[in-house]
Structure 1
């Protein structure tokens, strides 16, 4: 039989594939054995499960805590309750303080039978609005130049202020004339209390002063 080069090449390829397959199988088996080293099948026999130590309790088992842990948990909860009570008391105290400050309104200042009444102060947008009223129980009208109105904070700083609705001449009719004093929020800054001073113009006989006006935020 005459040797055919094609048949020979085919046989060589087949032999190479067979040898490669054998070596691949051996290598895969070795890798698998290395990966499974130290792994054993769990023992599921009832007696062995009952005798194992350190297992977690089943759902139907009752877990009994040591007495010292129970006492520690109770103390922790009691301590948390006391802290909450103290916090609530502090908040209540702050609310009471704010209510007391609010109860001081209106603030009044009187001079030469002219009365300045400060009814409230509150923030509206980018301004603090002081609601005021003027009353003249004198027998002659009183003139005011509100550009001379002086507003200071508790640190002694003079604040920018504008008035709206207040008459330039206060009639001698014992009637209350209402208006507002507008302060920019930026000028009030961290002020806690304000003071106002207003005098008539040009005589300056009437000297109206109000102090310790709380800034309500």
Structure 2
């Protein structure tokens, strides 16, 4: 019986392919086994046997299942702790308390000229500043303008002191309305001063002469 050459060739090719597959599979298995050598499956059984060794009791580590309620409690506790820390970090600093300066002067100290009245009603300490409470009103018939860069403050030694004003009007209307504000001086400037004098005039006419002397600072 004559064998067809095509059938024989096909059979040989199939045999070679089958043999190559077996060799490749065996080789891959060997490489994988070598790579996983020394790696063991962790003991995750819910219950482990308790044994004794050298007279002592030894318990193997067991898989611990956390309860949902415990997890929720821990999360809430951590969130509350973080919220308190954040609130403490952003909380604004407490303002320094103001202290009234104790002295024997009789307040208010008043100056009046051409219907305009300026009054210092008290003095107090606020942080690193000495603050004078000032009020102004105009009983005249015309508005009066002020430029507080012309505010002249001197101590009993004749030294000129720089000050900051807050709330005092730049224009005082003739309606007898009382306006209040403050004049603040740094305590560093008042280190050797016991009393100050304040002079103020209108701008630009400079017709008013408002002066308050012997205002205590300590």
TM-score by length of 2: 0.52
Runs of 4 or more, structure 1, over 2 Å off, are 98-101
Partner of 2:161: 159
Which structure 2 segments of 5+ residues have no match? Answer: 1-101
- In 2, Cα distance between the equivalents of 1:210 and 1:112? 16
Q: RMSD across aligned C-alpha pairs, in angstroms? A: 1.0
Shift of 1:215: 1.3
Partner of 1:190: 192
Q: Deviations over 1:175-206 (max 9, x none)?
A: 11000001011111121111000000000111
Partner of 1:125: 127
Q: Deviations over 1:62-113 (max 9, x none)?
A: xxxxxxxxxxxxxxxxxxxxxxxxxxxxxxxxxxxx5532xx1100000111
Determine which of 183, 201, 204 is the counterpart of 2:206.
204
Determine which of 202, 213, 216 is the counterpart of 2:215.
213
Determine which of 127, 137, 140 is the counterpart of 1:138.
140
Q: How does 1:169-188 map to 2 (within 5 A)?
A: 169-188=171-190
Cα pair 2:103 2:216 within 8 Å, conserved: no
Which structure 1 segments of 5+ residues have no match? Answer: 1-97
Partner of 1:116: 118
Shift of 1:127: 0.5
Q: How many residues align?
A: 117
Q: Deviations over 1:12-31 (max 9, x none)?
A: xxxxxxxxxxxxxxxxxxxx
User: Which protein is richer in helix relative to its size?
Assistant: 1
TM-score by length of 1: 0.53
Determine which of 93, 100, 106 is the counterpart of 2:104.
100
Q: Deviations over 1:25-79 (max 9, x none)?
A: xxxxxxxxxxxxxxxxxxxxxxxxxxxxxxxxxxxxxxxxxxxxxxxxxxxxxxx
**SS of alignment partner, residue 100 of structure 1:** coil
- In 2, Cα distance between the equivalents of 1:210 and 1:99? 17
Q: From the superposition, tell whether residues 153 and 99 of structure 1 become closer, same or farther in structure 2 (CA, over 3 Å).
A: closer
Q: From the superposition, tell whether residues 187 and 170 of structure 1 become closer, same or farther in structure 2 (CA, over 3 Å).
A: same
